[in-house]
Amino acid sequence: MLLPKSNTPRWIVVVIDLFLSLVALFFAYVIRFDLKAEADVIKEEWEILSKSILVYVGVKFFVFYLFKIHKGLVRHTSTEDLRRIFFASITSSLLFFILGLIRFHFIDEYYLFPTSVLLIEFLASFMLLLGLRFSIKLLYLESMKVKRSEERVLIYGAGISGLITKRTIEKDLASKEKIVGFLDDNKKLAGNRLEGKTIFHTSKLEKMLQEDGITRLIIAIQEPDNNNRKRIAELCIEYNVTVVKVPSTKSWINGEFSSKQLAKIKIDDLLGRKPINLGEDKIKKELNKEVILITGAAGSIGSGLVRQIAKYGPAKIILLDQAESPQYDLQNELRSDFPNLEFEVVIGDIRSYERMKNLLATFKPKFVFHAAAYKHVPLMESNPSEAVLTNVLGTRNLVDLSVEFGVYKFVMISTDKAVNPTNVMGASKRIAEVYAQAKNDLGKTKFITTRFGNVLGSNGSVIPLFQRQIANGGPLTVTDERVTRFFMTIPEACQLVLEAGVMGDGGEIFVFDMGESVKIIDLAKKMVKLSGLELGTDIEIKITGLRPGEKLYEELLAKDENTLPTHHPQILKATVRSADDQHIVMINDLIKLFRTQDNMEIVAKMKAIVPEFISNNSDFEKLDKHD
């Protein structure tokens, strides 16, 4: 039955409160006489009590009005109302005691009420007044709940965050969710109950998904084990169960969590690995109070490096990029998030030798993190001269100037596409690696190269593309059903770059553990499900065919390369062919070919420098020798 939604008149609240108080007084006398009082005793007590009833009602009315306990909306009773009722009840009892003393000493030598009655009446009236209010509140909350088909919800995490999540959902008037129970990795908690809800071990999840009609799972663990989270999320996706997560406590509003803050999990949550343990002390020792130059600072990896390095207290970070608007955005972000960070925003192009020379001469950085590059395979396949100009000439400028100005370490960001390259972009990055290696022993600068695969959420990557295509209703475009790629998050990639930069002695190419490669078509299917859509009904996947220069499978090592372990389990060191002066000559000749704008001649020279560069699905296949 629905309760009336209009406010109850105040006089009715007052009358009910006074009536409950009289009930409490009657109850106190019943308890005092242990339910066995004889008629003459009752008559005697009534003679005394009858002279006190009007005083009782008058005092209660006066005190209740004084404390305004009738003012609050009964259906929204709060702890503030509890406080008022408590003090009103105890004040009334004190007044009865004082008036009783006055009556005893100055009127008829009788107290208003026996002391035992006062104590029992205080407790009874307090509980009745409070109990009625909270009963009405509970009835109101139930009556106001939207009567829709219920969602059966499991909460993953039986800790504090999970408990807060349960309470928040149950408090939400508009919620149509019914908490079925908690899910937890701790076997010792299995079978216990938390606020009336059973805790199940995660091994029971699939059975529950099959039999209990679970429609939603909430990840309420603040820092869950990545493998467990991935396994649970993928199982839920398989059974078309929506998965959402509680945000970080930092984003809670005024320290309180709202059910509206629940967010769908992202594809990153299904691709993450074990947390990376960094040598924080070593990194801080190297970077603290040093001047650091980051090229491509406004890009995905560059800006990620800026955020990571800012935590280690550098003397100054030089942010170099030719993209004006992204630089402006990064500048504003740093001023907000790192108000004490010293940084300099430099608009410039790494292809300009004079601009780069002035930059290094002015700031004299000790570390250079080189993240500026062209990276899109199809675009570079159509514009090899630009790939050479930026990825090769730009790197040569920075490498040579780093030697000239005594940079301590130069860390180059490379790519898995540099391994057995099948496209111009990958070959240009491999050539840049070779140039840096060849210069390693010609000065004091230590040149270190880091290689990794695709970065989740980076500019122009497949994840934002799929997100846009889903938002537009599809189709999602996949080049080939067999295509696989390695993936890593931006923070992971940047952390490993810093770790490799610290451990490197110069000349190394570090390869990161990218985990298992992922089929792009499987990635697309998961993103469709995470969006709450049904493949084939709401949206389609379209196979478009391999693009020029595109590989089916990415590699992290070339055929003639092996790996050696390092002190960090997620970083390996590649043993590669040595680079020499002849390579430098050939690379300089390649750069000179820019003037010709002859794509075939430029790519032929690239293949001479990188013999393993065999074009795939490209016009440049004719340059390869075929048996």
Mean pLDDT of 366-390: 94
Provide the angle, in degrees to the nearest 10, between the axes of the packed helices 581-592 and 599-609.
170
Give the pLDDT score at 43: 65
Give the pLDDT score at 304: 92
Statement: the pTM of the whole predicted model exceeds 0.75:
no
C-alpha closest to that of 412 among 432, 392, 439? 432
pLDDT digit string, tens, across residues 120-164: 877 877 787 777 777 777 776 666 554 444 678 888 888 888 888
Mean pLDDT of 12-27: 77
Total Cβ atoms within 10 A of residue 26: 13
pLDDT, greater one: 84 or 593 = 593
pLDDT of 317 higher than 90 = yes
CB 413 within 8 A of CB 592: no
Strands 571-575 and 509-512: antiparallel
Could you report how far apart the first and last alpha carbons of the chain are, in Å? 86
> Which residues, 6 or more positions from 90, have their beta carbon under 8 angstroms from its beta carbon?
122
Percent of the chain with pLDDT over 70: 83
> Which residues, 6 or more positions from 296, have their beta carbon under 8 angstroms from its beta carbon?
302, 320, 321, 370, 371, 372, 373, 413
> Which residues, 6 or more positions from 312, have their beta carbon under 8 angstroms from its beta carbon?
283, 284, 287, 288
Distance (Å, whole) CA 296 – CA 185: 42
pLDDT digit string, tens, across residues 293-314: 999 999 989 999 999 999 999 9
pLDDT digit string, tens, across residues 252-262: 655 566 666 67
Domain formed by 280-621, architecture: 3-Layer(aba) Sandwich (3.40)
pLDDT, greater one: 345 or 103 = 345
Give the pLDDT score at 7: 57
Give the pLDDT score at 23: 79
Give the pLDDT score at 159: 84
Most trustworthy range by pLDDT among 80-84, 274-278, 378-382, 461-465: 378-382
Distance (Å, whole) CA 548 – CA 614: 12
**Active-site residue among 197, 366, 409, 417?**
417
pLDDT digit string, tens, across residues 279-294: 778 888 999 999 999 9
Give the pLDDT score at 287: 93
pLDDT of 3 higher than 60 = no
Distance (Å, whole) CA 410 – CA 545: 38
Give the pLDDT score at 147: 47
User: Active-site residue 417, yes or no?
Assistant: yes
Multiple choice CATH, 151-265, 3.40.50.720, 3.20.20.60, 3.30.750.200, 3.40.50.10420: 3.40.50.720
Q: pLDDT class for 35, splitting at 50, 70, 90?
A: low
Q: pLDDT class for 59, splitting at 50, 70, 90?
A: confident
CB 218 within 8 A of CB 153: yes
Total Cβ atoms within 10 A of residue 340: 6
Give the pLDDT score at 45: 64
Percent of the chain with pLDDT over 90: 28
Which residues belong to CATH 3.40.50.720 in the chain?
Answer: 151-265, 280-621
pLDDT digit string, tens, across residues 589-612: 999 999 999 999 999 999 999 999
What's the mean per-residue pLDDT of the chain?
82
